[in-house]
Amino acid sequence: MFKYVEVRLQAGHPISGERSVDMRGWRATVLAATGVVLTASCGYGAAVHAAKIPQEQLVGTWTSPAGTSLTFSKEHTFTGTGFDKVKAMADCAHPEKLSNGRWAFYASPKGDGLSVPDESATRGKDLQLSFTEDPTCTVWVYLYGDFGDTDDPSMCPTEDPDAGCPPDGYMKRSKAGTHS
């Protein structure tokens, strides 16, 4: 009375059964793209976008849309204004009174992977600012580029580069008067 019919699902074209697209490759692409998006959105983009620049490219004036200005010299000193607008300096006693100090790239002088501020380093992807007016106030500055591109880097004074930088916190190198 009832006839038993077996149905088997097959991937591919409904008549020929041929696959036109390798689904495993497509899935891998989607998975990789999702990983990139999640990495950037979770703040781990700092490692991807780090720009290791030479000292010559750092020297000069850098400004932010918030009104902060930093001028770096090749003698490892800096001057600046508008530090009270930098979120990373909230722990400093009086950021509005800070105006100068010393800078150093982070490096691993012993080659053990432990990075410390080192004034003998001639290039880097991050640096430390130490203020003359308040020696307890130090700020980590991270250097960014589009996927590490060093042609037009930005910098961000930050407490944690993985947390990202506020939109008005990025500093760009001024085109005029870039060397001091």
- Looking at 2.40.128, 2.60.40, 3.90.550, 3.40.50, the CATH number of the domain 50-173 comes to 2.40.128
pLDDT band at 12 (very low <50, low <70, confident <90, very high): low
Q: Which of 10-19, 27-36, 111-120, 135-144 has the lowest mean pLDDT?
A: 27-36
Mean pLDDT across 27-41: 47
Q: From 75, 46, 65, select the one nearest 141 (Cα to Cα).
A: 46
Domain boundaries, the chain: 50-173
DSSP H helices, the chain, are 23-41, 45-49, 55-58
Per-residue model confidence as pLDDT tens digits over 120-175: 999 999 999 999 999 999 999 999 876 556 778 899 998 887 777 888 889 999 87
Mean pLDDT across 102-121: 92
Q: From 147, 97, 103, select the one nearest 121 (Cα to Cα).
A: 103
Would you say the pTM of this structure is higher than 0.75?
no
